[in-house]
Structure 1
Amino acid sequence: MSPGARWLLVSDLHLDGSDDDPRHAGRMLAGFLRRTVLADLGPQQHIVFLGDTFELADLTEVESLARLESILASHPDTWHALQACSAHGAELHFVSGNHDVELARPSVAARLSELLSPADPALVQVHPWLLYVPNVLLAEHGHLHHALHRIPEVLRTAINGTDELDLPPLAALHAHPTSSRLSRAGAVARACLASERAERRARKPAYDELLQTESRRLTLDGTAVRELARLSRFRTVSALPRTATRMVLASTGRNVNGSQPPAAAGKVAGILENHRSPVAWYISAHTHRALEASLDASPTRYINTGTWSSDVRGQGPDQADRQAFPYAIIEVDDAGVINGGLRYWHPLVV
């Protein structure tokens, strides 16, 4: 990557066909883009949406396309701001999350590019799994390290264009909100079995070929990519108790809190270092807990970009001040020096 670049990363906006969330993530994003990106067009700008940007889960291809257009039409200020960013040469990157995994479908990714950058669709890129910038950062949504949301074969959709995605256990639970407890438990059990089968397929030669294709796209060592893909694994014996715990906590309005990087973070950094591809930053999302921390025995630092929705977790400034919106900024100056960290944007601070 050429020097003089700036990467801005946000996540978990959960934009849908309305603006009912009290934090109004869509409206706030438009202001953020105007003041943070369009007002400063110095270095090459990259705006990264690190998963769960849209509510597209559990839809068919046709439904996903229609929902995507509906969401953007419901947030016209954000849509126009994104178009303005691409018109000024900023690159827009969308990493798939568990709520918008449908972005991995080539047809949906292509439509997103057309909608946000009609003059030059190449300025909009969709990353089904990882965003890798050599020496600088590795970013992913993070749900693939969470058994309840893990989709082992996400590349099968992205590369082969298939319209088949196994429903992870927690998504199966949410897909039947009005069913009886017995029916919901049955749906989760079936999803667990499907995830076990998907894990076995993801360790076979046919999926290795997809991983090699992805390694070429990422320009990252093939063995490293394979190790990253197999770093986490779904196991029913551990996933079912976690699902039950999640259901109990949700019924009482509680969440599991944590103030440390996920266990996978240090392992990701270690894999990259072992394959001589270290990065300054490993960035993920998914937990809705904004966090910046060091990783034991690694020069790589960790950032979680939190959420712009009202479902804020953890003990960060955005918990106390609902007008504080977390984002990561990583800058590479003309000499190749990398700086950055977790920041909070406030719409009332100029």
Structure 2
Amino acid sequence: MTPRRRWWVVSDLHLGTGEPDVRCTSAAFVQFLEGVVAATGPSDMTTLVLLGDALELRARTGRGARARVDDLAAAHPEVFAALRRCLGAGVQLDIVVGNHDVDLVRPAAAQRLGELLGVRGDGLRIHPWALHVPGVLFAEHGHQHHAVHRLPTLLLAAVDDDTTVEPSPLTAWAARRGGPREAVMAVCRALAAARAAERRAGSAAYQRVLAAEAARLGLRPETARDLWRVSRFRLVPVAAATGWRLLRRLLARLVARLAARLATPLVTRRGGAAHRVATGPPPHSAQIALTLAAHGAPVAWYLCGHTHRAAEAPITGTTTRWANSGTWCSDIRGAGPDLDDPRLFPVVLIDADGDGSVQGGLEYWRVPAAVPPRHTPERLSG
């Protein structure tokens, strides 16, 4: 009998060092790993997919990224221990990096993570762009399709420890030093660097890097090239989007300060019944699905994260379904039941049977242990 293949997909844990963990993300994730993921049957092939922003790891150099991995392991020993137990039980671990943990693909950081998890062989795979399982799924974090977070030369991060991948405009803002003038200058430099990086991404040298990544993904070079071109960096729209995001944040801070002076309580929780709106597939999902199908590589599922909005829907005009795996941190921006119940956490479950059939979709796992009855939205940079 052909074994069933199963993928558990979780994104946007945002495990850091010293940040408030008001939703008890680490504790919930440990229980999920030990009670669900590691409890695989003898005939199953189980893969855990961390679909980006699992860790807060933006060190920008190999040496700094390696040290950051050590810091994260010290801050979340129970998570690393649970991951080791999963790997010991035969679970495959695939990590697709996001904009918050892009430096995890650097050789020094990847090697250190493998050492801390006690990985032998191919049990841990780190993907700088996407995970592709022929006929089943194409999964990426999704920041490459978000103008203010796109990294045009993302794949260079996996080449060596010293190659610089310039930060996105919002990352530059989050890492700003000094006053408003210095922050604006940092964003302007990031916009100029991103525009230059987009030009480098079209060079023959970068196309060779992309071709090598295509081989790793199990795709033809022209397929990967067309997928890479689905979203592009365009200076004027990105500058406008970045400016609007920064203006909104500035206004929010001003309102909060005014409310504090007036001793007026503010409702900071996102969502709620009045804000529940249907969430459909993002515009780029149809282009991804159609591109794969046009190159003879259709998949049953296109998966992403990044937006913190868990949802599932068919992609119109294709045979592919889309799902967003949401977030396990407290910055929930979707309209799912986890807004009202902090003990619910979104996961995407995909099963592929030996006969070629694929089932699955978005689910909500309920943590069995008690967690705080309230959670306060946690604003994350980007």
Q: How high is the TM-score relative to the length of structure 2?
A: 0.87
Residue 3 of structure 1 and its aligned partner are, at CA, apart by: 4.6
Deviates more, 1:100-109 or 1:126-135: 100-109
The aligned residue for residue 265 of structure 1 is 285
SS at 1:20 equivalent: coil
Q: Look up the equivalent residue of 2:204 and give its one-letter code.
A: P
Q: Which residue of 2 aligns with 1:164?
A: 164
**CA 1:295 to 1:265, structure 2 compared with 1: closer, same or farther past 3 Å?**
same
The 2-side partners of 1:72 and 1:101 are apart by 17
Q: Which residue of 2 aligns with 1:342?
A: 362
Answering whether residue 131 of structure 2 is matched by residue 131 of structure 1, we say yes
1:78 corresponds in structure 2 to: 79
Equivalences for 1:237-316 in 2 at 5 Å? 237-251=236-250, 252=252, 259-316=279-336
Distance in 1 between the 2:358 and 2:6 partners?
Answer: 10
Please give the alpha-carbon distance, in whole angstroms, between the structure 2 residues aligned to 1:85 and 1:101: 23
SS of structure 2 residue aligned to 1:297 = coil
Provide the rounded CA distance (Å) in 1 between the counterparts of 2:224 and 2:328.
30
Contact 2:60 2:164 in 1 (8 A): no
Alpha-carbon deviation of 1:17? 1.8
Distance 1:62 1:192 in 2: 26
Q: Which letter maps to 1:342?
A: L
Deviation at 1:58, TM superposition (A): 3.8
How far, CA to CA, are the matches of 1:46 and 1:248 in structure 2? 41
Larger deviation: 190-199 or 247-256? 247-256
Work out whether residues 27 and 75 of structure 1, in 8 Å CA contact, stay in contact via their aligned partners in 2.
no
The alignment's C-alpha RMSD in Å is 2.0
Match of 2:51 in 1: 50
Tell me which residue corresponds to 1:183. 182
Q: Which amino acid is the alignment partner of residue 158 of structure 1?
A: A
- State the distance in 1 between where 2:58 and 2:157 align: 14
The offset of 1:349, in angstroms, is: 8.2
Q: Is the 8 A contact 1:130 1:139 kept in 2?
A: yes
User: What is the match of residue 174 of structure 1?
Assistant: 174
Moved more, 317-326 or 188-197: 317-326
Amino acid aligned to 1:116: L
- Give the letter aligned to residue 122 of structure 1: D
Q: Which moved more, 1:103-112 or 1:209-218?
A: 103-112
Show the counterpart of 1:4: 4
Q: Write the distance in 2 (CA, Å) between the matches of 1:244 and 1:260.
A: 26
Q: Are the counterparts in 1 of residues 308 and 333 from structure 2 also a CA contact under 8 Å?
A: yes
Q: Cα distance 1:19–1:236, how it changes in 2: closer, same or farther (>3 A)? A: closer
The equivalent residue for 1:218 is 217
- Aligned counterparts of 2:343 and 2:163: Cα–Cα separation in 1: 39
Q: Percent identity?
A: 40
1:62-100 residue CA offsets vs partner (Å, 9 max, x unmatched): 221111112122212211110011111111011111000
Equivalent position of 1:200 in the other structure: 199
TM-score norm. by structure 1 comes to: 0.94
Checking the alignment, whether the CA contact within 8 Å between 1:113 and 1:123 is kept in structure 2 is no
State the SS of the aligned residue for 1:200.
helix
The aligned counterpart of 1:102 is: 103
Q: What is the CA-CA distance between 1:113 and the residue it aligns to?
A: 1.6
Cα contact 1:58–1:167 (8 A) shared by 2: no
Between structure 1 and structure 2, the one with the greater Rg is 2
Deviation for aligned residue 1:348: 2.5
Distance 1:293 1:346, change over 3 A: same
Distance in 2 (CA, whole Å) between partners of 1:202 and 1:258 is: 35
Cα pair distance change 1:44/1:19, threshold 3 Å: farther
CA deviation vs aligned residue, 1:206-229 (integer Å, no higher than 9, x gap)? 111011101111111111100111
**How many pairs are equivalent?**
347
Letter in 1 for 2:41: L
Task: Give the residue type in structure 1 aligned to 2:154.
Answer: V
Give the secondary structure class of the aligned counterpart of 1:164: coil
Q: Distance in 2 between matches of 1:324 and 1:280?
A: 26
Superposition deviation, residue 242 in structure 1:
0.7
Alpha-carbon distance in 2 for matches of 1:224, 1:319: 38
1:161 positional shift: 4.8
Letter in 1 for 2:331: D
Deviation string 1:221-245 (CA, Å, 9 cap, x unpaired) is 1111001111111112001111122
Amino acid across the alignment from 2:52: G
Larger CA deviation: 143-152 vs 104-113: 104-113
Structure 1: tracts of 5 or more residues without a match? none
Distance in 2 (alpha carbons) for counterparts of 1:41 and 1:23: 30
Looking at structure 2, the residues matched to 341 and 11 of structure 1 have their Cα atoms a distance apart, in angstroms, of 14
